[in-house]
């Protein structure tokens, strides 16, 4: 679908419309099939063949509508493979942030953003991204540096985390530009001699997230590959806005895993009888336990949806720093609550279904393996909790904040 051809699809492209569901069913089936065959290439072919990857960028939807569509897609895929859904989430959060970042007050940035979006949509590109941080003895260390070179740039160094690394067509990344501060670049990813896609970073975990270490070998970029550079309010807003999208979308896929676990519990309890020949589902204690899981899931889902609605209100340019910070905190809380809830629901599901969940063929095994990664990023929980703790322990009464 071409960037300009948005209107026709829009009518059918929102969640709930037949075509959206049809495409989502197709992609979900391809993921299940790919996992069984341990080869996700057909899943990515199926995903690319639908209109789903470019939802939002190709259609005039507002931020909340885009969020709801991504929610439905990631929730469904997360119920099959949280790791694969994480790879897709990385594409969506960058695309959604690019599509919705308000730029009315900055013509140059607005034009660069539109040109990049058009390039992505018209060429049906999947986006990988990296903040180019590395595992080092100092947290937050970036492994890359960039310098100006004539009318362009050169980038060298290493980035530890890049999901969707072998399927991504274009890489959006943050580096430090010599003497100027942070810079957001993009570059073609496949077959690019300047970007070496290395081995899986986590060789025994989250395999389907395709998270790899990548190395930049004096990568040459033109001025057109730069989205924004330099420290300042605009950069802070852009990076925070991207992170809001990331923190908002991460819990949706892990909540998908939680929902699937509850469904597996339901199936097990209804299809298995106790020694008295009554279905386990008829036990009052089971009803209480499962009801508690539903309430946990529902509460986390409510926070996620409320945070998504908050994002929809950020349309004015320049962004209001306080409003952005408030949404950032809400998105962070949603990430923390949603990912923690998913871990707890999977733990409870394992206890209810028992060892047969690991006897082969039960999704609880895969979901259990992956959900532990939910709380680990993008923003670590200790940092989120500290922000909230600081607010509670300020001079004003907590009751005024409630």
Write out the residues near ligand FAD by the rule CB under 6 A: 86, 90, 129-131, 133, 139, 161-163, 206, 209, 211, 373, 376-378, 380, 382-383, 386
Rank residues 207 and 226 by Cβ distance to ligand FAD and give the closer one.
Answer: 207
Rank residues 9 and 93 by Cβ distance to ligand FAD and give the closer one.
Answer: 93
Report how far residue 40's alpha carbon sits from residue 47's, in angstroms, rounded to the nearest whole number: 11
Instruction: Give the H or E element holding residue 159.
Output: strand 152-162
Rank residues 165 and 319 by Cβ distance to ligand FAD and give the closer one.
Answer: 165
Rank residues 17 and 376 by Cβ distance to ligand FAD and give the closer one.
Answer: 376
Inter-CA distances, 52 with 56, 78, 400, Å: 9, 15, 43
Rank residues 206 and 364 by Cβ distance to ligand FAD and give the closer one.
Answer: 206
- The residue whose Cβ lies closest to ligand FAD is 377
Q: How far is the CB of 106 from ligand FAD (least distance, A)?
A: 24
Name the pairing type of β-strands 127-130 and 170-177.
Answer: parallel
Residue 156 sits at φ, ψ, to 5 deg, of: -135, 160
CB 87 within 8 A of CB 164: yes
Report how far residue 339's alpha carbon sits from residue 345's, in angstroms, rounded to the nearest whole number: 10
- Give the residue among 344, 346, 347, 353 at the shortest CA–CA distance from 281: 353
Report how far residue 203's alpha carbon sits from residue 140's, in angstroms, rounded to the nearest whole number: 22
Rank residues 138 and 151 by Cβ distance to ligand FAD and give the closer one.
Answer: 138
Report how far residue 155's alpha carbon sits from residue 226's, in angstroms, rounded to the nearest whole number: 12
Report how far residue 170's alpha carbon sits from residue 125's, in angstroms, rounded to the nearest whole number: 7
Rank residues 131 and 252 by Cβ distance to ligand FAD and give the closer one.
Answer: 131
Q: How far is the CB of 24 from ligand FAD (least distance, A)?
A: 23
Q: How far is the CB of 236 from ligand FAD (least distance, A)?
A: 17
Q: How far is the CB of 283 from ligand FAD (least distance, A)?
A: 38
Report how far residue 246's alpha carbon sits from residue 87's, in angstroms, rounded to the nearest whole number: 12
Q: How far is the CB of 82 from ligand FAD (least distance, A)?
A: 10
Report how far residue 205's alpha carbon sits from residue 201's, in angstroms, rounded to the nearest whole number: 9
Q: How far is the CB of 377 from ligand FAD (least distance, A)?
A: 2
Rank residues 96 and 348 by Cβ distance to ligand FAD and give the closer one.
Answer: 96
Q: How far is the CB of 53 from ligand FAD (least distance, A)?
A: 16
**Running DSSP on this structure, what letter comes out for residue 172?**
E
Bridge partners of 177?
146, 181
Q: To 5 degrees, how large is the angle CA 136–CA 140–CA 142?
A: 75
Q: How far is the CB of 88 from ligand FAD (least distance, A)?
A: 11
Report how far residue 49's alpha carbon sits from residue 42's, in angstroms, rounded to the nearest whole number: 10
Q: To 5 degrees, how large is the angle CA 182–CA 329–CA 104?
A: 55
Q: How far is the CB of 351 from ligand FAD (least distance, A)?
A: 26
Rank residues 11 and 376 by Cβ distance to ligand FAD and give the closer one.
Answer: 376
Rank residues 191 and 203 by Cβ distance to ligand FAD and give the closer one.
Answer: 203
Inter-CA distances, 255 with 105, 288, 332, 366, Å: 37, 20, 15, 14
What is the chain's Cα-based Rg?
22
CB 151 within 8 A of CB 225: no
Rank residues 122 and 381 by Cβ distance to ligand FAD and give the closer one.
Answer: 381
Q: How far is the CB of 139 from ligand FAD (least distance, A)?
A: 4
The verdict on whether omega for the bond into residue 368 sits within 30 degrees of 0, i.e. cis, is no
Q: How far is the CB of 312 from ligand FAD (least distance, A)?
A: 24
């Amino acid at each position: 679908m071409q960037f300009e051809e948005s209107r026709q699809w829009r009518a059918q492209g929102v969640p709930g419309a037949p075509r959206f569901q049809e495409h989502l069913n197709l992609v979900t089936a391809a993921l299940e099939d790919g996992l069984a065959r341990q080869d996700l290439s057909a899943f990515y072919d199926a995903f690319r063949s639908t209109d789903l990857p470019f939802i939002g960028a190709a259609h005039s939807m507002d931020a909340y509508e885009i969020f709801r569509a991504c929610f439905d897609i990631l929730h469904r895929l997360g119920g099959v493979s949280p790791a694969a859904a994480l790879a897709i989430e990385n594409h969506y959060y960058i695309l959604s942030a690019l599509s919705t970042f308000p730029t009315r007050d900055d013509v140059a940035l607005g034009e660069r953003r539109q040109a990049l979006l058009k390039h992505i949509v018209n060429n049906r590109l999947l986006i990988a991204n990296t903040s180019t941080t590395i595992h080092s003895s100092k947290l937050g260390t970036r492994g890359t540096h960039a310098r100006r070179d004539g009318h362009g740039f050169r980038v060298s160094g290493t980035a530890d985390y890049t999901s969707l690394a072998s399927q991504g067509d274009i890489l959006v990344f943050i580096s430090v530009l010599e003497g100027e501060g942070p810079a957001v670049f993009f570059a073609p990813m496949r077959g690019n001699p300047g970007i070496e896609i290395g081995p899986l970073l986590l060789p025994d975990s989250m395999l389907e997230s395709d998270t790899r270490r990548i190395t930049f070998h004096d990568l040459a970029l033109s001025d057109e590959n730069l989205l924004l550079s330099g420290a300042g309010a605009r950069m802070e807003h852009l990076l925070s806005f991207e992170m809001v999208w990331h923190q908002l979308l991460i819990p949706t896929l892990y909540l998908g895993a939680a929902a699937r676990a509850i469904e597996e519990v339901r199936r097990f309890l209804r299809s298995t009888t106790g020694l008295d020949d009554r279905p386990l589902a008829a036990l009052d204690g089971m009803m209480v336990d499962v009801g508690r899981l539903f309430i946990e899931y529902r509460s986390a889902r409510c926070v996620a949806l409320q945070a998504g609605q908050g994002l929809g209100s950020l349309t004015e340019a320049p962004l209001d720093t306080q409003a952005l910070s408030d949404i950032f905190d809400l998105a962070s809380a949603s990430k923390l609550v949603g990912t923690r809830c998913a871990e707890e629901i999977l733990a409870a599901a394992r206890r209810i279904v028992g060892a047969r969940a690991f006897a082969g063929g039960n999704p609880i095994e895969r979901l259990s393996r992956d959900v532990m990664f939910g709380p680990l990023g993008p923003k670590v929980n200790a940092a989120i909790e500290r922000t909230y703790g600081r607010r509670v322990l300020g001079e004003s009464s907590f009751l005024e904040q409630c």
